[in-house]
Structure 1
Amino acid sequence: MRHTDPQSPVNPLPPMVMLLVLIMALVEAAFSLGSRGIIGGAQAVGWRAQAIQDFGFSNRAFAWMLENGIVRPDYALGVVTYPFVHGSFTHMLFAAVMVLALGKFVGERISQWSVLVLFLLSSALGAVVFGLVMPDGPGLIGAFPGVYGLIGGFTCLLWLQLGQVGAQQWRAFTLIGILLGLQLVFGVLFGGGPMWIAEVAGFVVGFFLTFLLVPGGLRRLREKLRHS
């Protein structure tokens, strides 16, 4: 009699996706525990504010580097560290849930390292675009530009999949259309900042970067453009 190993009904999460969420969760845990005086002593109450200043993306610092032609490591660091610093536990939780959901979809279709590259490059270039468009902007924290990069990856993969079966490929943009519509509504009702610039830039970077990361993606894009 041949025995087969039981298979889990739920596919495991890609390790790189878990790593991203783990880093965000550990950072937020330190802030939350410190603010309650559980760890770090009295100075821990200000850990979040200090981290935002030290590791958040600063538009003015970015503008200063461009104006002076000088790359200061302490200023440049924020381009890659800001996605892991959030303004609150709820802020982090929403970002983490979206990274898990979208990262799972994308990570099952491209390599593990590609998911990490997609998230980090979308975050970094989203911040760069934000800094170029708004040199006096309010700064940037949180994983949402990277999340929008994963949405761009999701959209690209769906676009390619719909093209293979001859379906209408514009349907791949339904998710980003809904999200941007909701963002517009919330902005009108409750007021919103200009961070959407970084998020839209992250989406565009994620969408086109995925063509380079998925096998045969760039070739199919060229064929589509050639016949359009």
Structure 2
Amino acid sequence: MQDHDIAPINPLPPVVWLLVLPMIGIELVLSLAEAGMIGGRAAIGWRVAMLEGFGFFPDYWRQQAQAGAFDFELLRRFVSFAFVHQTTMSALFGVVLTLALGKFVAEVFAGWAVALVFVVSAVVGALVYGSLVQSQPLFGAYPGVAGLIGAFSFVLWKGLSRMGPQPQRAFSLIGGLMAIQVVFGLVFTLLPKLFPSMGPMPLGWDWIAELSGFFCGFGLSFVVSPNGFASLQARLRQR
């Protein structure tokens, strides 16, 4: 007998909305501003101002760190960069990936664990990125999304989902993501050489933050997954 009260689309966990609503709200305002629908002429520069105010800038971080100035203005950028994007398309992909991966991980992990994986992976991704990249700023949800991919991979690897144990698929998402990054890197490197009139194209180093975020999310899952902390304690006691 069919249950007609069942929703046609499974509702998203509240924690997933908590992560994506700031991205959606910010991008909606910036898109309307760029379309000239709000803010007047001054609104054209809102995206630049938002990126400058909330993005992660390696040079700024190193200067402040060397001076010992670990203030709120510096520390919040390790998280805030994940909610602002350079383009509407980048924001759209960030929101969609966060929704999809967040929903899947939240079916296994507690809500607080999903949020922790996203935020800590973003922080670790920015920290590693800032330590290795000289001046290129970091924006967007992708290091946090990579952390969710790490948690997703952990779920498949441990066979915690209803999909059953599928170790061969556990690392397919991050492999695909890194392959895309390599392709884009080659394109950005080769196109200016083939077509000099295009001028130099900036080579993206975001993959450093994303790969770091993936390993952070995967490693953190050993602790925040169901019974993960108890299992970790048991292993440490055995040693």
Moved more, 213-222 or 122-131: 213-222
CA–CA separation in structure 1 for the residues paired with 2:125 and 2:151 = 14
The answer for the alignment partner of 1:216 in structure 2 is 227
Q: How far does residue 11 in structure 1 lie from its aligned partner after superposition?
A: 1.9
1:10/1:37 CA distance change after superposition, 3 Å: closer
Secondary structure, in 3 states, of the residue corresponding to 2:181? helix
CA–CA separation in structure 1 for the residues paired with 2:120 and 2:179 = 25
Moved more, 197-206 or 73-82: 73-82
What amino acid maps onto 1:211 in structure 2? F
Match of 1:207 among 207, 218, 221: 218
RMSD: 2.8
1:217/1:159 CA distance change after superposition, 3 Å: farther
| Identical counterparts, % of pairs | 42
| Aligned 8 A contact 2:109 2:225 in 1 | yes
| Aligned 8 A contact 1:59 1:131 in 2 | yes
Does 2:97 match 1:98? yes
The answer for the alignment partner of 1:76 in structure 2 is 75
1:77/1:162 CA distance change after superposition, 3 Å: closer
**How big is each residue's C-alpha offset from its partner over 1:89-119, in whole Å with a ceiling of 9 and x where there is no partner?**
1010011111111001001111112111111
| Aligned 8 A contact 2:30 2:47 in 1 | yes
| Aligned 8 A contact 2:84 2:139 in 1 | yes
The answer for the alignment partner of 2:14 in structure 1 is 15
| Aligned 8 A contact 2:147 2:217 in 1 | yes
| Aligned 8 A contact 2:51 2:139 in 1 | yes
Moved more, 55-64 or 177-186: 177-186
The answer for the alignment partner of 2:158 in structure 1 is 160
Gaps (5+ residues) in structure 1?
A: none
The answer for the alignment partner of 2:178 in structure 1 is 180
| Aligned 8 A contact 2:156 2:164 in 1 | no
Q: How far does residue 37 in structure 1 lie from its aligned partner after superposition?
A: 2.3
What amino acid maps onto 1:138 in structure 2? Q
The answer for the alignment partner of 2:34 in structure 1 is 35
The answer for the alignment partner of 2:88 in structure 1 is 89
What amino acid maps onto 1:202 in structure 2? G
CA–CA separation in structure 1 for the residues paired with 2:125 and 2:186 = 23
Moved more, 3-12 or 190-199: 3-12
Match of 2:147 among 146, 149, 163: 149
CA–CA separation in structure 1 for the residues paired with 2:8 and 2:234 = 37
Moved more, 176-185 or 165-174: 165-174
Aligned residues: 224
Using the size of structure 2 for normalisation, the TM-score is 0.84
CA–CA separation in structure 1 for the residues paired with 2:206 and 2:231 = 32
Gaps (5+ residues) in structure 2?
A: 190-202
What amino acid maps onto 2:50 in structure 1? A
Moved more, 143-152 or 189-198: 189-198
What amino acid maps onto 1:32 in structure 2? S
